[in-house]
Amino acid sequence: MKRHDTRPLVDREFTERAASAWIRAADAGVIDAAELAWLLAHLDAWPVAEVVGIRG
């Protein structure tokens, strides 16, 4: 068994921080809306929904 087999590849805190950083980058004009949508689509849905204010 490998050393990290029992840990998730990306944890919730990383996902929340990444989503927040990418949203700030889009607000600052560093990335455009299409890039932001692509990046957010590749993160876990629940933490991203909480960061952007979507409740399901």
Asked if the structure places residue 24 within a domain, the reply is yes
Domain annotation covers residue 25? yes
pTM for this predicted structure: 0.62
Is residue 21 within 8 A of residue 53, CB to CB? The reply is no
Between CA 21 and CA 19 the distance in angstroms is: 6
Provide the residue range defining the domain that includes 37. Answer: 12-52
- The string of pLDDT tens digits covering residues 20-51 is 898 899 999 999 989 988 888 877 666 666 76
Q: How confident is the model at residue 6 (pLDDT cuts 50, 70, 90)?
A: low
Q: How many domains does the chain have?
A: 1
In the three-class reduction of DSSP (H, G, I as helix; E, B as strand; rest coil), residue 11 is classed as: coil
